[in-house]
Amino acid sequence: MAVNLKGRSFLTLMDFTPEEIRYLLDLSADLKRKKRSGSTDYLLKGKNIVLLFEKTSTRTRCAFEVAALDEGAHVTFLDSGSSQMGKKESLEDTAKVLGRFFDGIEYRGYEQKVVEDLAKFAGVPVWNGLTDVDHPTQILADMLTIEEHVAKPLNKVKVVFAGDIRNNMSYAWMYGCAKMGMHFVAFGPKVLADQLDKEILKKVNEVAEYTGAKIEISDSIDSVKGADVIYTDVWASMGEEALIPDRVKLLTPYKVTMDLLKATENEDVIFMHCLPAFHDFETKLAKEQKELGYDIREVTDEVFRSRHSVVFDEAENRLHTIKAVIVATIG
């Protein structure tokens, strides 16, 4: 059956069928080949997109801008200091205005409800660049990277997310693995497992029953055995510095080390991270916390720089998968 995503918003992978996700991955690979060959069809010529950023970004902003420009579109960037949204103008009114100016809207911020309301009122496709509970463009890039580095179909791949299993990347992986029939393990402290959103767990397990996926929550090191992918994310984000002492104490046993990779018993296991990562002490926050006696690194530098690490291939693939989402929905 032909897949047509024209006019669709991209808010969460839970809105898409496995066939539609497969289409986006195949389109991503095709656009990547064209980019590397130096050819383009200017599939977005004459289109205008706006990027709404309430949270700062490196990869997401650059990927959206370069993806659009590669294909001939024009980009406008608005951050929280250069927009009236939510201050002097309601979200609904802002969405309706932007929908008159632009062919597509990207949002990166906090509440999932904001990106959903933008899609409800804008009248044009809206793309989720990250919220507190999801990061669907990242998961597309991660899946493309896995297909490039793991010699298995996705439905035979086991992904282990280690660390703060309540964060948006852990949930985003649950959605992606459930949809594509993959084996997902959230490997972290039981106290965090008890705080997971029960409604989300119910939904992903319902999808998993249909696709053959397996969704596990575990605090046992035995759960990483047979993993094809070890994934992690930072333990504390900007503005959460006060939580660092408790986070370090709670999550250090789940730090990604060479010993953790060895526990997979898979010599070809790959390490992935959405970035930015604390893997050394070359960042301001890591240095400051080290002086206070806290090692906030969620992954060791040894792992980050090892042959297992594919983090920069993964980062590049943000460009190609985001380009596929834009082209598929407004191209």
Taking the C-alpha atoms of residue 310 and residue 292, their distance in angstroms, rounded to an integer, is 31
**Helix H or strand E segment including 169:** helix 168-180
Both tokens of 305, joined, read 């720089």
Can you list the positions of beta strands (E) in 267-330? 270-273
* Phi, psi dihedrals of residue 272, rounded to the nearest 5°: -130, 155
Q: Which candidate in 61, 108, 183, 279 is catalytic? A: 108
Q: What is the pLDDT at residue 240?
A: 76
In the residue annotation, 274 being an active-site residue is answered as yes
Q: What does the pLDDT look like over 183-228, one tens digit per residue? A: 999 999 999 999 999 999 999 999 999 999 999 999 999 999 999 9
Q: What does the pLDDT look like over 3-42, one tens digit per residue? A: 999 999 999 999 999 999 999 999 999 999 999 999 999 9
Q: Which candidate in 8, 135, 273, 308 is catalytic? A: 135
- Provide the 3-class DSSP secondary structure of residue 324: helix
Q: Residues for the chain: how many in total?
A: 331
Q: How confident is the model at residue 314 (pLDDT cuts 50, 70, 90)?
A: very high
Q: What does the pLDDT look like over 238-258, one tens digit per residue? A: 667 889 999 999 999 999 999
Taking the C-alpha atoms of residue 78 and residue 76, their distance in angstroms, rounded to an integer, is 7
* Domains of the chain (ranges, CATH numbers): 13-134+317-330 (3.40.50.1370), 151-267+270-307 (3.40.50.1370)
Q: What is the pLDDT at residue 134?
A: 97
Answer yes or no: are the C-beta atoms of 54 and 79 closer than 8 Å.
yes
Q: What is the pLDDT at residue 241?
A: 80
Both tokens of 90, joined, read 């309601």
Q: What is the pLDDT at residue 84?
A: 67
In the residue annotation, 318 being an active-site residue is answered as yes
Taking the C-alpha atoms of residue 141 and residue 139, their distance in angstroms, rounded to an integer, is 5
Q: Identify the DSSP state of 278.
A: -
Q: What is the pLDDT at residue 1?
A: 64
Taking the C-alpha atoms of residue 294 and residue 297, their distance in angstroms, rounded to an integer, is 9
User: Pairing relation of β-strands 48-53 and 74-79?
Assistant: parallel
Q: What does the pLDDT look like over 142-175, one tens digit per residue? A: 999 999 999 999 999 999 999 999 999 999 999 9
Q: Which candidate in 103, 233, 247, 297 is catalytic? A: 233
In the residue annotation, 233 being an active-site residue is answered as yes
Give ∠ CA 140-144-149 in degrees, rounded to 5: 145
Both tokens of 67, joined, read 């993806």
In the residue annotation, 15 being an active-site residue is answered as no
Give ∠ CA 8-93-322 in degrees, rounded to 5: 30
Taking the C-alpha atoms of residue 165 and residue 176, their distance in angstroms, rounded to an integer, is 15
Residue in 176, 130, 147, 157 with CA at minimum distance from that of residue 275: 130
In this structure, the dihedral spanned by the alpha carbons of residues 236, 242, 245 and 250, taken in order and rounded to 10 degrees, is: -50
In the residue annotation, 138 being an active-site residue is answered as yes
Q: Specify the amino acid at residue 86.
A: G
Q: What is the pLDDT at residue 85?
A: 72
Q: At what angle do helices 59-70 and 311-330 cross, to 10 degrees?
A: 50
Q: What is the pLDDT at residue 80?
A: 82
- Provide the 3-class DSSP secondary structure of residue 127: strand
Q: Specify the amino acid at residue 90.
A: S
Q: Which candidate in 183, 247, 318, 320 is catalytic? A: 318
The full DSSP string for 134-145 is B-HHHHHHHHHH
The full DSSP string for 208-231 is HHHHT-EEEEE--GGGGTT-SEEE
Q: What is the pLDDT at residue 180?
A: 98
* Phi, psi dihedrals of residue 162, rounded to the nearest 5°: -105, 135
Q: What is the pLDDT at residue 83?
A: 72
Residue in 30, 19, 28 with CA at minimum distance from that of residue 180: 19
Q: What does the pLDDT look like over 42-79, one tens digit per residue? A: 999 999 999 999 988 999 999 999 999 999 999 999 99
Average pLDDT of the chain to the nearest whole number: 96
